[in-house]
Amino acid sequence: EPDDDADDRAGSASVGASKSLPGPESMPARPPVDAPVRAPETKPIDDAKPAAEDVTSAAPHAQNACDDDFDVDVTETLDDAPIERDATPDTPPAEPILAAPARIPPILSSWRDRCFGEIAGQPELVSVHAYLAERLEVWLGTPGPEFVYLRSLGGSLPEAEVRLVQALHALGRESVRLEVLDRDPACADARRQKIELAGLGEIIEVVTGDLDVWRADAPCHAILLSDALEGQPELDRILDHCETAMRGGALLLFAGRVGSGPLQLSASTLIRLEELWSVLPDSLIAADGLCVIPHRGDDGGASRHEPEPADRLLERFEPIVLGGMGHLVDLVVGPARGFALSPEDPESMRLLESIMAIDESRTLTEHLTARHGVGLFALDAQVQTPEQVGQPWPAASRRS
Residue 296 contacts residue 267 (beta carbons within 8 Å): no
- pLDDT for 64-93, tens place per residue? 443 444 344 434 443 444 444 444 446 556
Q: How many CB atoms lie within 10 A of CB 123?
A: 8
Q: What is the pTM of this model?
A: 0.76
Q: How many CB atoms lie within 10 A of CB 248?
A: 17
Alpha-carbon gap, residue 68 to 44, rounded angstroms: 36
Give ranges for CATH 3.40.50.150 in the chain.
Answer: 98-399
Report DSSP letters for 277-313, one per residue. HHT--HHHHTSTTTTSPP-TT--TT-PPPSS-HHHHH
Report pLDDT for 356. Answer: 92
Report pLDDT for 98. Answer: 93
Q: Which fold has domain 98-399?
A: Rossmann fold (3.40.50)
Report pLDDT for 59. Answer: 41
- pLDDT for 319-335, tens place per residue? 999 999 999 999 999 99
- pLDDT for 339-394, tens place per residue? 999 999 999 999 999 999 998 888 877 788 899 999 999 998 777 789 999 999 99
Percent above pLDDT 70 for the chain: 75
- pLDDT for 210-237, tens place per residue? 998 887 778 899 999 999 999 899 999 9
